[in-house]
Amino acid sequence: MTLVAVIGAGPAGLAAAAAALESDAHVVIVDLNDSPGGQYHRQLPEAYRAANPERIQHDWARFQRLRDTILTHPNARWMANTIVFNLEARPDAAPRLHVVSGPIDGTSRQRGVIEPDAVVLATGAHDRVVPFPGWTLPGVFTAGAAQTLARTERVAVGRRVVVSGTGPFLLPVAQSLTDVGAEVVAVLEANPMSTLLRGWLPHPERLVAQRHKLLDLGHYAWHHARHRIPYRTGRAVIAARGGDTVQVAVTARLDADWMPIPGTEKEIAVDAICVGHGFTPALELAQAAGCQMATDPAGTFVAVDDTGRTTAAQVFAAGEITGIGGADCADVEGRVAGLAAAGASTIPARLMRTRHAARQFVNRLATAHPLGAGWHSWLDDDTVVCRCESTTFGQLRRAQEAETSLRATRLGTRSGQGPCQGRFCGPNVDALCGKFTQHDRTCTEGTPAATAHNRPIAHPVRLGELAAAPSPPVTD
């Protein structure tokens, strides 16, 4: 019987697991968290589990049914608190997965091996934040971190908060903050209305397939109106000021390329700033598997065919690593990839039509909420770009003027060499490298972003864990 390994238990991973189980495959689901759901369905800790989780969770009843169906299925194996740190290529077969299981900070994690017949990568994405002066001050949070604290810990990151960046995700973040008592003084969308309309207005009939998202938009609009939260387009936080913590958010109007318009600067008194400039896909395992990447103005993603198949043998991908599209898109992509990974002879035409509509939504999202290159102008020489190694914009600029390659610049400044290994600063460093480099024409914005994810050891592990003998392989 076919063994399908699903890496990631968010919307895409759960959908893939369910579809594979429906096709009579054996499924092992690997996730670094202690419960399924990913970021989208992240739950409160067991110690203070919500009495009415449907009030803070999207589609809770549907998620609960899906989760329970998978976890109680006799052909499913759930591996919580487990990371895949290496994919070992095998000739004409799915890669062998090397894992460690146990609490992330624990000292007795167990090493294991999984030898599947097919792999579905559903590793998701994390917040992308472009740097600006003061962004390392205490009180500046990523939008995702602020929402996680609000939804899973019921903690507000501040009393008076501004939310800034680009994308629809800013709206639920603002709602989560007000739900836990914070005052959201403004939601700032960096792209002007003309850019938003360019993405959302063409072919309005195609939005019929996404009408539930219009209902979500109406819900957020009503919430913002009820709490009197201003929504401003073409404006963003370009600097933060304060002493021990953030005290002031400096905002400015931006042109279509995110260049600040002189004379439009405004200071807002706050004790927290939440920023999110889109998402960066988690490509480490896809890179290790040898999957071909596709680069477009929205970023670098795993290239897949209509069934989610990648260029690596028996490796499929679904969800945000194939293009940022949200939970609904991840769900349908996961179902298609799960069926294909399980060896289904046909995939229902209705499911393929739903997937096609979801991919159209991905394209709309990328067109309406692009990342403007003008954010480079927000920086000064003292602005930290790589937080792990405290590499500043000035150090990076001077290194690029002296060096002739991205690799030499990284080695010279240690940008991307710290504990996060470039997961967070990599795309920003690569974008700035593209701005500065005159000699190395391969260093253009977007193209080298995947290099920050290309590591034989995809996640940090201890030397003792590497040296330990693995438990018997999981083969069915």
Q: Which stretch of DSSP H or E encloses residue 218? A: helix 211-226
172-176, 300-304, 404-408, 414-418: segment of lowest average pLDDT: 404-408
Nearest to residue 283, comparing CAs of 87, 95, 125? 125
* Among candidate residues 99, 112, 34, the one with its CA nearest the CA of residue 459: 99
Tokens matching residue 135: 């962004």
At 330 the pLDDT is 93
Is residue 47 pLDDT above 70, yes or no? no
- DSSP letter assigned to residue 102: S
Task: Examine the pLDDT at 445 and tell me if it is beyond 50.
Answer: no
In this prediction, residue 412 has a pLDDT band, given cuts at 50, 70 and 90, of confident
CB of 99 closer than 8 Å to CB of 285:
no
Q: What is the pLDDT of residue 461?
A: 86
Residue-by-residue DSSP string for 319-371: GGGG----HHHHHHHHHHHHHHHTT-S---HHHHHHHHHHHHHHHHHHHHS--
CB atoms within 10 A of CB 162: 26
Q: How far is CA 113 from CA 78, 84, 94, 429, 476, in A?
A: 14, 9, 13, 34, 12
Burial 307-321 (b: 16+ CB within 10 A, else e): bbbbebbbbbbbbbb
Regarding predicted confidence, which is higher, 253 or 427? Answer: 253
Q: Domains in the chain, start-ordered, CATH in brackets? A: 3-126+281-347 (3.50.50.60), 129-277 (3.50.50.60), 379-453 (no CATH)
pLDDT, residue 53, reads 62
The alpha carbon dihedral of 120, 103, 158, 237 has a sign of negative
Those residues whose C-beta lies under 8 Å from the C-beta of residue 107, and which sit 6 or more positions away, are none
Quick check: helix, strand or coil at residue 256?
A: coil
Q: Residue range 44-53: average pLDDT?
A: 62
Q: Which of 238, 195, 368 lies closest to 298 in space, CA to CA?
A: 368
Question: What pLDDT is recorded for position 182?
Answer: 95
The closest of 206, 225, 159 to 360, measured between CA atoms, is 206
Indicate the range of 147-151, 333-337, 419-423, 462-466 predicted with least confidence: 419-423
pLDDT for 245-254, tens place per residue? 999 999 999 9
Statement: residue 211 has pLDDT above 80: no
- CA–CA distance, 408 with 276 (Å, rounded to integer): 30
At 442 the pLDDT is 40
Amino acid letter, 349: A
**What is the predicted pLDDT for the residue at 190?**
97
Q: Are 81 and 50 in contact (CB under 8 A)?
A: no
Q: What is the DSSP letter of 462?
A: -
- Look at residue 450 in the predicted model and tell me its pLDDT: 41
Three-state DSSP at 470 gives coil
- Name the nearest CA neighbour of 80 among 150, 13, 147: 13
Cα–Cα distances (Å) from 465 to 98, 456, 472, in that order, read 11, 15, 15
Instruction: Give residue 345's pLDDT.
Output: 86
> In the predicted model, is pLDDT for residue 131 greater than 60?
yes
User: Of the ranges 61-70, 85-94, 389-398, 436-445, which one carries the lowest mean pLDDT score?
Assistant: 436-445
Task: Please give the distance of CA 132 from its chain centroid, rounded to a whole number.
Answer: 20
Q: Is the pLDDT of residue 314 over 70?
A: yes
Write out the DSSP string of 143-202: HHHHHHHHHHS---S-SEEEEEEESTTHHHHHHHHHHTT-EEEEEEESS-HHHHHHHHSS
Those residues whose C-beta lies under 8 Å from the C-beta of residue 287, and which sit 6 or more positions away, are 293, 450, 453, 454, 455, 458
Q: What is the pLDDT of residues 372-408, one digit of tens each?
A: 999 999 999 999 999 899 999 999 888 877 766 777 7
Read off the pLDDT of residues 323-363 as tens digits, 9 standing for 90 and up.
998 888 999 999 999 999 999 988 999 999 999 998 888 88
Q: Which residue has the tokens 């067991």?
A: 46
* Residue 422 pLDDT grade (very low, low, confident, very high; cuts 50, 70, 90): confident
pLDDT tens by residue, 169-207: 999 999 999 999 999 999 999 999 999 999 988 887 777
Cα–Cα distance measured from residue 289 to residue 280, given in angstroms and rounded to the nearest whole number: 18
38/88: higher pLDDT: 88
- pLDDT number for residue 453: 52
User: What rounded mean pLDDT belongs to the chain?
Assistant: 87
Paired strand residues for 90: 93
pLDDT band (50, 70, 90) for residue 108: confident
